[in-house]
Amino acid sequence: MNFDSEFEPFEQDEQFNPWDSAEQKAVKAFELYETGLMNEALVAMNEALDINPANDRWHFNKALTLDAMERFDEAIEEFKLALDMSPNDVEILNCLAVDYTRTAHYDLSLSVFEQIEKLEPDFEPCYCNRIITYTEMGEHEKAEQMFYLAQQINESCPLCFYNIGNSFFIRASFRKAVWCWEKTALLEPNHPQINYRIAQAYWNIGNKNLARRHFIEELKNNPGDKDVIFDFGIFLLHDGDTTSAAEKFNRILETSPDYAAAVFYLGEIELNRNNTETAEKYYHRAIQLDCRLAGPRFRLGRLALQQGRNDEAFSLLASELELDIQQGEVLLSIGQMMTQLGRLDYAIHCFLKVSELEPPKGVNYLYLANAIALRGEGDEAEQFLDYALELEPKNPELAVEAAKTYLSMKKIHKALLVLTTARQENKGCSFGLLEYAIRFKVFLDSTRNRLGYSLKIKK
């Protein structure tokens, strides 16, 4: 998050006074801050405040130092101390509101911004930064309102275009996001990661050439930015250029050998090349580096299942689920593997979670019905099968799988009805041997019933 505030420099008073030592320490803190030595700057600033705690500028500057160290809760307390001495300082209020947004205290943030608006209606940052607050709250129309209010004060603020671009990106309005971020780049060519953001938007649009161009442009300006290198590696991996992707991940590891995600994706590349043993080594290494990283256990669990190591597969997949996976595709896959392993409670948990995370899809409810049927709860399974078919009545593949599940539940006539209905929904579609087999089964059952009845009469 960006905002318009700077560490306030100090003017040294050449005439000796009782606070001279404190002033010297404060000046030293400023110099250390400017050179990026935040821990040392914080120590020097604390020493100055120990001597003179009644200096609002020093509390403000200490808060900015804490912000630079991402210690936002502590920074908030320092901003409050500064405001005790200067309650109407809009710059301090603005920084406090920004930190409230950073810590997801949105109501407090909005309250402070409104206070600034009353004190100084033309203070543009209080509108510009509110774009971020409303965006994080998901109130994008209000974010746009703040953008237009800020424009009335300063129509050439690059940060306003950047912030509203983020709002458009979250809403998947990628072309609008590109327009906003290109405006930011025009107004402030050196804006942090601006080409990176444009690359991400073009990537989502599907314009790979422009995405690649902006990734490269960003890395020209910031060759050591690991976030950009990593995302560029993912982009190249999706584009099928595994060699270049591997080079990017290895470049990260040259300077940051504990970057677990880069290690994981090197495993993905080796798995794609069918180098299973090498891939497994990368996955295990990634887990050692970051025990909370999602992905490695999922891959190792699948490989263990394929190799018949069922207990190991279950242990790995259950551990993956403890990471609170939110990707529907991954949960569906784990659910299917848990069904295969006979761990039906885990499978049902996965499919139910997908139904909470994503819009209803027939295939999810089909898998859920299968797992419930295997648990012996036929009536409930039938309800989910019916719902799956209701969601996707024109999906012949779904109809076939649903018919198979009905057969496993010994509901033969229901299986035949599903296929017959599906053929009517999908003109010209034939279900071949499966439908023939079901019809033959129905014929045999009816014949047995007639024979049984006939024998009973003769007796």
Confidence of residue 445 (pLDDT cuts 50, 70, 90): very low
339 closest CA partner among 306, 303, 314, 304: 314
Residue 450 has pLDDT above 70, yes or no: no
What is this structure's pTM? 0.77
For the chain, percent of residues with pLDDT exceeding 90: 67
Task: Give domain 362-459's CATH architecture.
Answer: Alpha Horseshoe (1.25)
Residue 21 has pLDDT above 90, yes or no: no
Mean pLDDT of the chain: 86
Confidence of residue 24 (pLDDT cuts 50, 70, 90): confident
Per-residue pLDDT tens over the stretch 54-96: 888 888 888 888 989 999 999 999 999 999 999 999 999 999 9
Range name among 129-143, 337-351, 399-413 with the lowest pLDDT average: 399-413
**Residue 444 has what pLDDT?**
38
**Residue 442 has what pLDDT?**
41
Query: Mean per-residue pLDDT for 334-347?
Result: 96
**Residue 421 has what pLDDT?**
67
Query: Mean per-residue pLDDT for 297-306?
Result: 97
Taking residue 204's Cβ as centre, other Cβ atoms within 10 Å add up to 15
CA dist., res. 423 & res. 359, Å (int): 26
**Residue 44 has what pLDDT?**
79
**Residue 60 has what pLDDT?**
87
User: Higher model confidence: residue 68 or residue 24?
Assistant: 68
Query: Mean per-residue pLDDT for 32-57?
Result: 82
**Per-residue H/E/C for 346-359:** HHHHHHHHHHHHCC
Residue boundaries of the structural domains of the chain: 362-459
Range name among 122-131, 254-263, 422-431 with the lowest pLDDT average: 422-431
**Residue 393 has what pLDDT?**
84
Contacts of 205-212 with CB under 8 Å at 24 or more apart are: 205/174, 205/175, 205/178, 208/235, 208/239, 211/235, 212/239
421 closest CA partner among 390, 382, 383: 390
User: Higher model confidence: residue 430 or residue 197?
Assistant: 197
Residue 10 has pLDDT above 70, yes or no: no
Highest mean pLDDT among 15-24, 334-343, 377-386: 334-343
268 closest CA partner among 239, 242, 248: 242
Confidence of residue 447 (pLDDT cuts 50, 70, 90): very low
**Residue 4 has what pLDDT?**
44
Per-residue pLDDT tens over the stretch 129-155: 999 999 999 999 999 999 999 999 999
Phi, psi at 230, each rounded to 5°: -65, -50
